Amino acid sequence: MFKAILIEKGDDGQRVGIQTLDEAQLPEGDVTVKVECSTLNYKDGLAITGKGPVVKTFPMVPGIDFAGTVESSSSDNYKPGDAVLLNGWGVGEKHWGGLAEKARVDSRWLIPLPKAFNARQAMAIGTAGYTAMLSVMALEREGVTPDQGEVLVTGASGGVGSYAIALLARLGYHVVASTGRAQEADYLQGLGAREVIDRKTLSEPGKPLAKERWAGAIDSVGSHTLANVLAATKYDGTVAACGLAQGMDLPGTVAPFILRDVTLAGVDSVMKPTEARIEAWRRLGELMVPEQIDAITETIGLEAAIDKAGDLLAGKVRGRLVVEVG
Ligand code: NDP
Percent of the chain residues past pLDDT 90, beyond the cut: 96
pLDDT at 27: 97
Q: Is the pLDDT of residue 108 over 80?
A: yes
Torsion, CA 34, CA 38, CA 43, CA 46, rounded to 10: 90
Q: Is the pLDDT of residue 326 over 90?
A: no
Whole-number average pLDDT of the chain: 97
Q: Is the pLDDT of residue 183 over 90?
A: yes
Burial 134-163 (b: 16+ CB within 10 A, else e): bbbbbbeebebeeebbbbbbbbbbbbbbbb
How remote is the CA of residue 221 from the centroid of ligand 1, in Å?
A: 6
Q: How far apart are CA 56 and CA 77, in angstroms?
A: 29
Q: Which residues are 40's β-sheet partners?
A: 321
For the segment 148-179, what is each residue's pLDDT rounded down to a tens digit? 999 999 999 999 999 999 999 999 999 999 99
Q: Is the pLDDT of residue 19 over 90?
A: yes
How remote is the CA of residue 109 from the centroid of ligand 1, in Å?
A: 24
For residue 242, give the ligand 1 atom closest to its CA: 41
Q: Is the pLDDT of residue 67 over 90?
A: yes
Q: Is the pLDDT of residue 272 over 80?
A: yes
* Residue owning the nearest CA to atom 33 of ligand 1: 243
* Residue owning the nearest CA to atom 23 of ligand 1: 42
Q: How far apart are CA 278 and CA 283, in angstroms?
A: 9
What average pLDDT does this structure show over 187-208? 97
ipTM: 0.99
What are the backbone dihedrals phi and psi of residue 247, each rounded to the nearest 5 degrees, phi first?
A: 170, 165
Percent of the chain residues past pLDDT 70, beyond the cut: 100
pTM of the predicted protein model: 0.96
- What are the Cα distances from residue 62, in Å, to 44, 49, 52, 309? 6, 11, 13, 11
What average pLDDT does this structure show over 193-209? 98
How remote is the CA of residue 237 from the centroid of ligand 1, in Å?
A: 22
- pLDDT tier at 81, thresholds 50, 70, 90: very high
Q: How far apart are CA 231 and CA 209, in angstroms?
A: 4
Residues lining ligand 1, CB < 6 A?
41-43, 127-128, 131, 155-161, 179-181, 199, 203, 220-221, 225, 242-246, 267-270, 312, 315, 317
For residue 131, give the ligand 1 atom closest to its CA: 42
What average pLDDT does this structure show over 230-248? 97
For the segment 212-222, what is each residue's pLDDT rounded down to a tens digit? 999 999 999 99
What average pLDDT does this structure show over 61-65? 98
Question: For the chain, which domains are there?
Answer: 2-116+292-324 (3.90.180.10), 127-266 (3.40.50.720)
231 near 209, Cβ under 8 Å?
Answer: yes
For the segment 124-138, what is each residue's pLDDT rounded down to a tens digit? 999 999 999 999 999
For the segment 96-106, what is each residue's pLDDT rounded down to a tens digit? 999 999 999 99
